[in-house]
Structure 1
Amino acid sequence: MLDKRKFWKKQDESYELQDQIISIKKQPVPSHIAIIMDGNGRWAKKRALPRIAGHHEGMKVVRKITKLANELGVKTLTLYAFSTENWKRPKMEVDYLMKLPEEFLGSFLPELIEENVRVEMMGYRDSLPSHTVNAVEKAMRDTQNNNGLVLNFALNYGSRSEILDAVKSVLNDCKSGILNENELNEEVFSSYLMTSKHEDPDLLIRTSGEIRLSNFMLWQLAYTEFWFTEVLWPDFSEKHLIEAVREFQNRQRRFGGV
């Protein structure tokens, strides 16, 4: 039997969210939002569940936040899905994480296509299992003509390795005459990074109360606004993203000026 109170509460929350979206869009929204999705394991532990249960719940949140970011008019949403250091985790957990892209994109891909979202990935593909790469590449192919939000997964990504590889590429191009070292500046160097097609993030969100970058986009976050929350990623909701964007809109970005 339908619980009318729950139904109307859900309807009221939906109307309230739409009102907030309309209000937020009256001011500039972040063009690029990056999120360090932290706290899945702690969420599961608090409920006496295996860590993989937290990752599975976190996957549902990605779905909601992607749809809201797209509705807000965000151009790029970069999600830190798996770092180059995460291989140190227990094998069972790593194996599950490597299956998540296939599970997530397999079920969510029709919605992404309908929502005009384009899937991209940055990270080191050679070290990933073939089934993981195949799932991401299929999503990238199937959404390549979409021109809405770019859903960019940082998968097997590490910023220090990215920067070192960029330096090596710059040195090689200087030696071969492709690049004149006197022409090297921040803009040119940025073109050697994995994010060369994207603007630097305007807003970084990290969940679970941790206040560090964890080897994530160290070059690109130089003038990004940071927003930290105690909320664990599986509990992160649309209202939290709204809160983060509102705070971003209330900050003054000087980029070193006055």
Structure 2
Amino acid sequence: MPVLGLGVYQNDDCEPACLAALKHGYRHIDSARMYRNEAQVGEAVRKSGIPRDQIFITTKIYDTEHGYNSTLKAVDDSLKKFGFGYVDLYLIHSPTSGKTKRLETYRALLDAKKAGKIKTVGVSNYSPKHLEEIQAAGFETPAVNQVELHPFCQQKPIVEYCKKNGIVVQAYTPLVRGKLDNPVIVETAEKNKTPAQIAVRWSLQSGLVPLPKSSQPERVVANAEVFDFEISPEDMTKIDALDRGKEGAVTWNPVDAE
């Protein structure tokens, strides 16, 4: 899985952003059934001319489709919309449907993986409690847990658990929806790049897989220009200290769902 991906949430016309991303080196696009743009992502991949097996595609099943049979139908529908024979990573979008449906959905995704329709199965917005119920049910550990994660909401208990158990942590909303005027981030950016690039670089240096989102092609390109510099250890420490826990979240962040 590439260490940097393009998020396409709330982007009804994501094809231009996807094409710009693929043209400028991105090889990872993060979609979801809830976003209603799987077909556009698939079309962008075909128009890019880049072989399908060189691009990592993620999608997610939303809570209203949870359940064993409905999940299998959703996977088939995703493949139809994308126009692909498989998806690289399929996530449970959130844990809010309850334990029974969460586990039914996870089992269905594993069966879709056995059938060759999915390469990798993961989850999103899961806390250690939700991850442990998968283990208790005897299922394989999710490969990925995608959560809201940025300097102001660092999800430390979740990250610690995932790293201990070999689960890759993907960071959505790494740009804090543009709320990057914090003095520490601005000061760090003045030494190197833009505040957005500092936020993405902080994710990478923290061992995360950030998924910056933008509908503007020029920003999509700029968000990926983060591999020619490093944030100093001193500045990393300052940024780490900005964590406000769950109070720092700027999205729904349903990690405490029952």
Q: Normalising TM by the smaller chain, what interval?
A: 0.3 to 0.5
Q: TM-score, normalised by structure 1?
A: 0.38
TM-score (norm 2): 0.38
